[in-house]
Amino acid sequence: MKYIFLILLIITHLYANSENINFQKFVKKIENNIKNKNINYKLNKINSEINLFKYRSDISLYNEKDYWATPIEFFKNKGGDCEDYVIFKYYLLKKFNIGKNYKFIFIKYKNKNHLILSAEINNKNYILDNNFIKPYIIKNIENTSYIDPEVILKRKILESIWN
């Protein structure tokens, strides 16, 4: 399972030099800001910083119906759609070792398909969502439609290599 995160990390860091430097500075700024802070502060900071980026559809960015951007692509494009927010937040939580048992949860929001991120912290499931400023807690995640991030990212990476 750790291999997919490593592949995502490698792809993210090899994408483009100038954007990579700016991306690394952005990530380092967040890391420095959350160091030695409580979990609520960390989650709020990560969620709010990434939510500052503009929502942009895959059609407008990539001329594709469904494209899952790497964190550096999202950063370079100054935004993306819901799964791009989720992937970037997942990347940051993993990088900063915040939470466990991450899940990409599929929901309907305003009659549209939507993806949100769940991270288990202190036996609570925190939800990070680009439609809400602050993360929130849901009690029973088992009744939701979700997939393990490692499974879906592995599939997306393999699809991009084979296509």
Note the pLDDT of residue 12: 58
pLDDT < 50 stretches in the chain:
163
Note the pLDDT of residue 14: 58
Note the pLDDT of residue 89: 97
Q: What is the DSSP string of the chain?
A: -HHHHHHHHHHHHHS-HHHHHHHHHHHHHHHHHHTT--HHHHHHHHHHHHHTSEE--HHHHHSSS-----HHHHHHTTEE-HHHHHHHHHHHHHHTT--EEEEEEEEEETTEEEEEEEEEETTEEEEE-TT-SS-EEES-GGGSEEE-HHHHHHHHHHHHHH-
The enclosing domain of 32 has a CATH number of 3.10.620.30
Which residues span the domain enclosing 14?
2-162
Note the pLDDT of residue 138: 84
Domains: count for the chain: 1
Note the pLDDT of residue 129: 96
